[in-house]
């Protein structure tokens, strides 16, 4: 009997590449559309993500379900919900999506210059205060790394491959994630000099005469926020804002008392207040373990670790407000490629 794989034949790998019926056949596009629906929880948003009309995206989902012979997703007025079989397929596709993303990133960086896009989720207050002033140093060494910054998101966006890294105030515990402790963000009560000139200096004894700028971000039930909540309740809340950058501008504009990062003590127009509410927020850097195999992601990960670690005097466990140097990370490490 002739051997099934005679000498001189193509390799098994080559035969697999030539076999058109293997893998997902002609349903690669449908699988991509399905994964987009699973992530977006909406047919309309998924269609926009993959560049299709809503009608075409719906047809692709139906075609995939017909090919598999199982209901994968149901659509209601509330959005798209996966069936148990749909969830199983989505998890498998998500792993493939992550592997392909990491592989293509690595292929792009095999040249002498590291290049690629890295998606970083970070709050406005951390990004504006500590990261943006130092990005030029990273760009000088790695001009082809494109850092895409967005507002803080939850760890599901990491698992769904929407972002690569996130800096937040919670340590995440998931087998597919790595989450490390950075430094400590110190929030202190400030008011502008223009406010003091107009309304006088706020103290613990006269807060009933003063106005506050508040935020839902600072109104949690956690014990951490109790000192701030106690101070706010003694005065009058005149403004609120949940956007960190807007909040800071309102304080600097003299609209009321607000709680800002300790580095604002370097601002000659800011007055630090003694109200007994010096808050400490731990910072964590979280990444999908698989994404750290990508060279650009690893470089940004190491840079953020150096930039936002306890070596930064403004993020030390105990902040020294006597620090006068605005160049707060003289020795921040720019990772080697």
**145 & 291 share domain:** yes
Q: Give the model confidence (pLDDT) of 161-171 as tens digits.
A: 788 999 988 88
What DSSP string runs through 1-60? Answer: ---SS-TTSPPHHHHHHH-TTSTTGGGHHHHHHHHHHHHHS-HHHHHHHHT--HHHHHHH
Tokens of 150: 């967005």
Report the CATH number that the domain containing residue 89 is assigned in CATH.
Answer: 1.10.10.10
Range of the domain at 51: 13-106
Q: What is the pLDDT of residue 288?
A: 86
- The C-alpha atoms of residue 201 and residue 273 are separated, in whole angstroms, by 8
Domain boundary among 60, 75, 106: 106
Q: Give the model confidence (pLDDT) of 27-39 as tens digits.
A: 788 888 888 898 8
**pLDDT more than 90, % of the chain:** 30
For helices 43-50 and 28-40, what crossing angle results, to 10°?
Answer: 130
Mean pLDDT of 314-319: 86
Mean pLDDT of 119-139: 88
Confidence at 108, pLDDT banded by 50, 70, 90: low
Report the CATH number that the domain containing residue 157 is assigned in CATH.
Answer: 3.40.190.10
Tokens of 273: 């207040």
Chain centroid to CA 192: 31
- The C-alpha atoms of residue 121 and residue 75 are separated, in whole angstroms, by 30
Q: Give the model confidence (pLDDT) of 169-194 as tens digits.
A: 888 888 888 999 999 999 999 999 99
Cα of first residue to Cα of last residue in the chain, in angstroms, is: 55
- Residue 4 domain flag: no
- Residue 30 domain flag: yes
Mean pLDDT of the chain: 82
């Amino acid at each position: 009997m002739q051997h099934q794989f005679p000498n001189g034949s193509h390799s098994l790998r080559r035969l697999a590449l030539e076999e058109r019926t293997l893998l997902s056949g002609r349903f690669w596009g449908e699988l991509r559309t399905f994964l987009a629906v699973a992530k977006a929880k909406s047919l309309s948003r998924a269609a926009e993500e993959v560049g299709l009309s809503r009608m075409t995206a719906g047809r692709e989902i139906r075609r995939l379900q017909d090919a598999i012979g199982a209901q994968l997703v149901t659509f209601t007025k509330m959005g798209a919900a996966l069936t148990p079989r749909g969830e199983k397929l989505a998890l498998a596709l998500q792993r493939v999506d992550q592997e392909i993303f990491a592989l293509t990133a690595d292929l792009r960086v095999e040249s002498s210059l590291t290049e690629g896009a890295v998606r970083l989720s970070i709050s406005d207050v951390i990004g504006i205060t500590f990261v943006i002033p130092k990005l030029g140093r990273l760009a000088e060494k790695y001009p082809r790394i494109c850092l895409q910054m967005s507002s803080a998101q939850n760890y599901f966006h990491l698992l769904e491959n929407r972002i690569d890294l996130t800096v937040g105030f919670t340590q995440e515990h998931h087998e597919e994630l790595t989450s490390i402790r950075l430094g400590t963000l110190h929030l202190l009560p400030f008011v502008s000099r223009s406010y003091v000139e107009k309304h006088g200096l706020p103290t613990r004894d006269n807060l009933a005469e003063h106005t506050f700028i508040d935020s839902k971000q600072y109104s949690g039930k956690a014990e951490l926020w109790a000192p701030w909540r106690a101070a706010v309740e003694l005065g009058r809340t005149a403004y609120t804002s949940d956007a960190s950058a807007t909040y800071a501008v309102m304080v600097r504009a003299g609209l009321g008392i607000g709680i800002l990062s300790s580095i604002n003590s370097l601002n000659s127009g800011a007055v630090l207040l003694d109200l007994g509410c010096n808050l400490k927020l731990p910072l964590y850097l979280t990444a999908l373990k698989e994404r750290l195999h990508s060279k650009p992601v690893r470089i940004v990960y190491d840079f953020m670790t150096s930039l936002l670690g306890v070596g930064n005097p403004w993020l030390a466990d105990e902040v020294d407000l006597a620090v006068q140097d605005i160049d707060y990370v003289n020795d921040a490490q720019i990772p080697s490629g």
